[in-house]
Structure 1
Amino acid sequence: MRRTIEEHLHKGELQEHLTMFLEEKDQFPFANMASCHYQAFGGQDESSIQTLSAGIELLILSFDIFDDLEDEDNFDAPWMKLSPPIALNAATSIYTIGIHTICAAGSNVHLLSAASRYALQSMQGQHLDLKNEMATEDECLEMMKLKAGSLFALSCILGTLLANGKAYPCIEAYAYQLGIAAQIENDYKGLFQEHNNDIKQQKRSLAYLYLSREFTTHSSEILSMIDHGRFFQQEFKDIIEYKEKLHVAGVTQYMNVMKNLAIHHAKKEMEKLTLPKDQLMTIQSVMFDKF
């Protein structure tokens, strides 16, 4: 990816910023998703899948930066230490290079249209998240499907398109569900992050919607903490006490059930793939690795 950036930008401060941002990436899950689908569906050109994978990870990085800038959190990230206009321009540059690199991966004309479609869906999901008007569980799940699920789908579908030019509805379906599961897990972890603005902004996540039903006094206590923009360090003795409070309120169990339900739906969709057992197992190991 460093070479890709160097090929598209003249030496200078912007290139230095982008190179610095790349150093934050030590895992490449979206590239792995694309690669395992490419190989499972008959792809054999190592150069093409490497190019596609680089483009996808650059695109994902740009979305991470946009997300942090829009949510105004994750202050330790290098892009958050730059002035917002400079960081925004850098993110736009990464996005553009990512799209260009995806197009350069192969001659399939559907690569660009698929990448653009899923990217726009993710932007639509981010818009809904920023509007913060979700009132029901279904609305929240739809937002997560668009915001996170679309990026999972982008990686899997592009890898398959590059391999054989075909798109399979079941791949899109299980990618959406695993994106939802990943977002649920991320939202739960966000309950413990001091600089996560979800609490200050009373983000209508699944956890918040569950707490707002106030099934117990424990739910009411946590909801009051969030509604007053306070972090758990200000309310509880330590993180152990806070986790116990979430547990007795039912939040932990609810989030786990919702995550596992999405994973279950993904597995049912994956069963529709007609692939040799070893190739199917490879996809399963990559897609379910973080769960």
Structure 2
Amino acid sequence: MEIDVRPTIQFIIKNTLLTSGLEYDIQKLTLQLLHQSGKIFSQNTDDFTWGEFSYYAFSLLTDINTVSHTTKVKHAAGIELLMLATDLLDDVVDHDNHLDTALAKSQLLMLGNLLLVEALHLLIQHTATSAIDQFAIIHRHLRNAGNGQWLDFHLTMEHPAATEEQYFHIIQQKSCSFLQLIFELHRSTIPLPVLQEIATYIGYAAQLQNDIQDIFSDHKNDLLSQKATLPLIKAVQHSNTYDHGWLLTQLQLIHSHDITAKHLTTIRDYIRQTGAIDYCSILAKYYTQKAKSLLQHYFNDKSPYIKQLIHLID
């Protein structure tokens, strides 16, 4: 049985924006952002989206007789808006450009805060349990993610703690907290530590894949800012061992010279040649497989949702 919930989530988001009381320009800009890759209105139906992931996760954890399809879809729409809000605030920190037409930092901050409020309202308004309990879960995980983002901002390749262990410690807070939030909002009879383990593996795999892509993206500043992502950590370790720290020297030159496309290509080619990208790719597949194994073990009676969830995280 194929399940296509994306159009329904899209409808709920459009309706939410239309009835939100937000200015028309804000509604229009939000929909424009949600048409980008990895968002719910993207033309690429194979993209991972938080809304679809949330719906299928909620469906695994709840009984169809106790939580309605409508409630799950509205929660999924709330998660999609919540993640867009955090993405925008993350872009301000990382100096990334989320649109072809650049938005001012002040606009990104305002839009992120407004969407955060709308997302929380949508999630709390359509909860089947105590709104206070739901808000406590959301608050705890968003606070944890914020602490992780704060640590991530300060961790660069110049930092003495830029190690693989420190990287995963931050990712546990920064990325895995959002997934744990989704799983905990609709807890079932499955023990919470199991759900947290699944969320952690998915979070690790997704962050590794993102960090690999960002190394080679001209729209991300991870490389220019020397952010201590695992691909860069491993490449610098290789360089320090075999090439007298050539890579770190080249990265430091970025701050003192106008970086050219050719120089950036040379750095990226070197990173690939160190094996750091292959290492992170293998690790991402390893964590994805561990998550899939746990999902199939604990939720084998809900195979249609398992199939959709695995398709999204593969």
TM over 0.5: yes
Report the more deviating stretch, 107-116 or 170-179: 107-116
TM-score normalised per structure 2: 0.78
Question: What is the aligned partner in structure 2 of residue 143 from structure 1?
Answer: 170
Say which SS state the counterpart of residue 153 (structure 1) adopts: helix
1:38 matched to 2:62: no
1:258 matched to 2:268: no
Say which SS state the counterpart of residue 139 (structure 2) adopts: helix
**1:66 Cα deviation from its structure 2 partner:** 0.7
1:182 matched to 2:206: yes
TM-score normalised per structure 1: 0.83
Separation in structure 1 between the aligned mates of residue 189 and residue 211 of structure 2, nearest angstrom: 35
**1:203 Cα deviation from its structure 2 partner:** 0.8
Distance change >3 Å, CA 192–CA 274, structure 1 → 2: closer
**1:261 Cα deviation from its structure 2 partner:** 3.4
Distance change >3 Å, CA 76–CA 106, structure 1 → 2: closer
Q: How many residues align?
A: 280
8 Å CA contact retained: 1:170, 1:272? no
Ranges in structure 2 where 5+ consecutive residues have no aligned partner: 1-12
The residue correspondences of 1:1-291 to structure 2 (distance < 5 A) are: 1-24=13-36, 25=39, 26=42, 29-40=49-60, 41-43=62-64, 45-74=68-97, 76=99, 81-109=102-130, 110-132=133-155, 133=159, 134-158=161-185, 160-161=186-187, 168-213=192-237, 214-217=240-243, 220-229=245-254, 233-235=261-263, 242-243=268-269, 245-270=270-295, 273=298, 275-276=300-301, 279-280=302-303, 282-283=305-306, 285-287=308-310, 289-291=312-314
**1:220 Cα deviation from its structure 2 partner:** 4.1
**1:165 Cα deviation from its structure 2 partner:** 8.5
Separation in structure 2 between the aligned mates of residue 107 and residue 31 of structure 1, nearest angstrom: 18
Separation in structure 2 between the aligned mates of residue 146 and residue 288 of structure 1, nearest angstrom: 25
8 Å CA contact retained: 2:56, 2:308? no
8 Å CA contact retained: 1:171, 1:270? no
**1:12 Cα deviation from its structure 2 partner:** 4.1
Separation in structure 1 between the aligned mates of residue 22 and residue 98 of structure 2, nearest angstrom: 28
Aligned residues: CA RMSD: 2.8
Which amino acid is the alignment partner of residue 172 of structure 2?
K
Separation in structure 2 between the aligned mates of residue 234 and residue 122 of structure 1, nearest angstrom: 36
Separation in structure 1 between the aligned mates of residue 268 and residue 105 of structure 2, nearest angstrom: 34
Question: What is the aligned partner in structure 1 of residue 5 from structure 2?
Answer: none
Separation in structure 2 between the aligned mates of residue 273 and residue 84 of structure 1, nearest angstrom: 44
